[in-house]
Each structure stands twice: as structure tokens, then as C-alpha cells.
């Protein structure tokens, strides 16, 4: 590793963590359920939905709203879609839990259906609008070559709506209701990288990673269930759902070079940092390690 590279790596990591895990709820309205702040909506979005008759004066109390109209979130979603305020082809219900959204739960059974204790569910595209925590699975693909770690990264298609052309973890996807975390990982692995259940037999769960972020009038609390898979056969890796353009192995230093060039999807660096802080700790200063551990 070239001279001065460790300092560059640590600066890049701190910059990425500051970007991903920083939020300011000034200008946001709390959303209450069972006296907990389970979400936050930006005042501009609130005023817009209020003007369209979705909200009434006073605190946003979801208990009361859903007691009057159990289809409230479906109606908001359809309104935003039909009037082109929201553009997505994805239809996937995700659970919302009875919890403080700034302290999302991270411990779940990975083998039972996710969301069994949800209080309600919403379309994935609504999560950040209402500031409800989003859950997802990510998986590092890795191998050792010439004594060093290499990561198999997926280059996102230029046809996807978000983060087009950027490098991502080998597998990554949202965690919907009604499917277990491990079954969702299997589904995403087959769709995104043609990895079947047999090839996943040695996959290792690492840790849940939590981060909180405000951007573009939205609050996005998120939890990633991070897995690691040692790659023994690269030949069968291919994309099956059209979201990935190609796959490439990169060394650790090359990963951080891509990060510096803004060629990495922002949140995919988190599973990589989790992997490296457990296996190549000497890369990081004590300050950087402490910042990483705040998320894991």
C-alpha cells in the first residue's frame, strides 16, 4: 500500500460515515403511534398532503388516522403515483414497527417471516417520505488473492432509476414483509447474481448496521442485515433481473480508490467496512474504528 494511503483511507471513511449517518430533523413533523415517534415527515411534504385532504389539523397520530381509514397509506401512494409526484415501478409492502424511528430495532430472527409484529405496512417508496425505518439485506462477495482481500462488486445498470452505473455490494435488496431475512437473501442472490442455495451454504451473517440520514426533504433511518460469502466459483455469477451491468473483483485499495472517485453506491461501503474492521483492523485509526462501531 503506497505511502500516505492509510490517511487517505481514514479520511474517506470518515467522510462517508458523516454523509450516511447524519440527520437534522428541523423542519420535520413527528408522526406518532402509541405515543412513540415512529416517523418524521418534512413540513413541505406534510403541507402538500394536508392541502390534498390527507391530514387534519394537529399532531399526526397514525392510531387515529388508521382507525378512520385503514387504506390511508395505500391512498397516499396511489395519489402520488397517479399524479407523477412519485415515480416507481416497485410494488413491495414493508413493515412499520411500534418503535422510535431514530432507534430502530436491529435484532430479529432471520428464519421466520419478517414483520409478524408490524403495526402496519406501507409501500417501500413511502418509507423515507414518512421517515419510517427501512430494512434490507446486503452481502459481500470476497476472496483472498496474493494474500489480500478482494471484493466482488456489482456494477449497477445505467437503466436503473437510482445510483445508475455505480458499484454496489454483490447482493443487496430491501426487506419486505412476509418473507424471512434469509429467504429474502436467497431470493436476491439468485436474481442479482445467479447464486443458488447450494452456493450460499457457507454464507455468514455478520451484523446489523444502522444509519440515519436526511436528504431531499426526506428522513431515512435504515438497517442493513450484512452477510459475507467467500466466492469459490466466479464462473456462474451473472445477473438475472436486469439491474446489474457487470461484476468485477477489486482489491481493498481499489475499493477505496473507487470510493474517492464517488463510484460506489453510498451505503454499500458499510458492509465492506464491517468486513474489514473485523479482518484488517490495521487499516484504520482508533478514531475511525470508533466511528464505524457506532453503526455496527
* pTM of the predicted structure, to 2 decimals: 0.95
Query: Where on the phi/psi map is residue 4: left (φ > 0), alpha (ψ -120 to 50), or beta?
Result: left
Exposure string of 82-106, with b = 16+ CB inside 10 Å and e = fewer, is eeeebeeeeeebbbbbebebbebee
* Alpha carbon 18 to its chain's center: 16
pLDDT at 232: 86
| Residue 261 buriedness (CB in 10 A; 0-12 / 13-18 / 19+) | exposed
pLDDT at 296: 83
Q: Are 9 and 152 within one domain?
A: yes
| pLDDT tens string 18-62 | 999 999 999 999 999 999 999 999 999 999 999 999 998 889 999
Q: Which of 134, 150, 152, 159 is nearest to 193 (CA)?
A: 152
Q: Are 122 and 222 within one domain?
A: no
pLDDT at 88: 86
pLDDT at 87: 86
pLDDT at 213: 94
Q: Cα angle vertex 29, ends 43, 82, to 5°?
A: 55
pLDDT at 1: 53
Of 104, 127, 150, the residue that ends a domain is: 127
Residue 155 is part of a domain; what is its CATH number? 3.90.79.10
Total domain count for the chain? Answer: 2
Q: Are 157 and 280 within one domain?
A: yes
Asked if 192 and 240 count as a contact pair (C-beta separation under 8 A), the reply is yes
Of 107, 127, 147, the residue that ends a domain is: 127
- Determine which helix (DSSP H) or strand (DSSP E) holds 30, and give its type and residue range: strand 28-33
pLDDT at 187: 97
Q: Are 43 and 121 within one domain?
A: yes
Q: Are 81 and 166 within one domain?
A: no
| pLDDT tens string 79-109 | 999 999 988 888 999 999 999 999 999 999 9
Q: Are 114 and 188 within one domain?
A: no
Q: Are 19 and 65 within one domain?
A: no
Give the domain range for residue 104.
30-127
Asked if 187 and 180 count as a contact pair (C-beta separation under 8 A), the reply is no
Q: Are 18 and 49 within one domain?
A: no
For the chain, list residues with pLDDT below 50.
none
Q: Are 117 and 260 within one domain?
A: no
Of 127, 153, 184, the residue that ends a domain is: 127
Q: Are 142 and 281 within one domain?
A: yes
Amino acid at each position: 500500500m503506497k505511502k500516505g494511503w492509510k490517511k487517505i483511507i481514514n479520511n474517506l471513511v470518515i467522510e462517508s460515515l458523516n454523509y450516511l449517518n447524519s440527520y437534522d430533523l428541523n423542519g420535520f413533523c413527528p408522526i406518532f403511534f402509541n405515543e412513540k415517534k415512529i416517523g418524521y415527515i418534512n413540513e413541505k411534504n406534510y403541507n402538500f398532503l394536508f392541502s390534498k385532504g390527507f391530514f387534519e389539523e394537529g399532531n399526526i397520530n397514525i392510531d387515529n388516522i388508521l382507525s378512520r381509514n385503514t387504506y390511508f397509506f395505500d391512498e397516499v401512494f396511489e395519489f402520488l403515483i397517479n399524479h407523477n409526484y412519485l415515480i416507481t415501478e416497485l410494488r413491495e409492502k414493508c413493515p412499520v414497527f411500534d418503535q422510535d424511528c431514530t432507534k430502530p430495532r436491529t435484532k430479529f430472527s432471520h428464519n421466520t417471516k419478517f414483520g409478524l409484529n408490524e403495526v402496519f405496512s406501507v409501500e417501500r417508496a413511502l418509507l423515507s417520505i414518512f421517515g419510517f425505518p427501512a430494512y434490507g439485506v446486503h452481502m459481500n462477495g470476497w476472496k483472498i488473492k496474493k494474500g489480500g482481500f478482494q471484493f466482488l462488486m456489482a456494477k449497477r445498470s445505467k437503466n436503473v432509476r437510482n445510483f445508475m452505473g455505480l458499484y454496489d455490494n454483490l447482493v443487496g435488496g430491501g426487506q419486505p414483509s412476509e418473507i424471512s431475512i434469509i429467504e429474502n437473501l436467497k431470493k436476491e442472490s439468485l436474481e442479482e447474481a445467479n447464486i443458488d442455495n447450494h452456493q450460499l451454504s457457507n454464507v455468514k451473517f455478520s451484523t446489523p448496521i444502522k444509519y440515519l440520514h436526511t436528504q431531499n426533504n426526506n428522513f431515512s433511518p435504515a438497517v442493513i442485515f450484512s452477510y459475507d460469502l467467500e466466492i469459490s466459483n466466479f464462473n456462474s455469477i451473472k445477473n438475472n433481473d436486469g439491474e446489474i451491468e457487470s461484476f468485477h473483483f477489486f482489491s481493498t485499495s481499489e475499493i477505496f480508490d473507487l470510493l474517492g472517485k464517488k463510484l460506489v453506491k453510498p451505503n454499500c461501503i458499510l458492509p465492506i467496512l464491517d468486513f474489514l474492521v473485523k479482518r484488517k483492523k490495521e487499516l484504520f485509526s482508533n478514531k475511525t474504528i470508533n466511528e464505524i462501531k457506532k453503526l455496527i
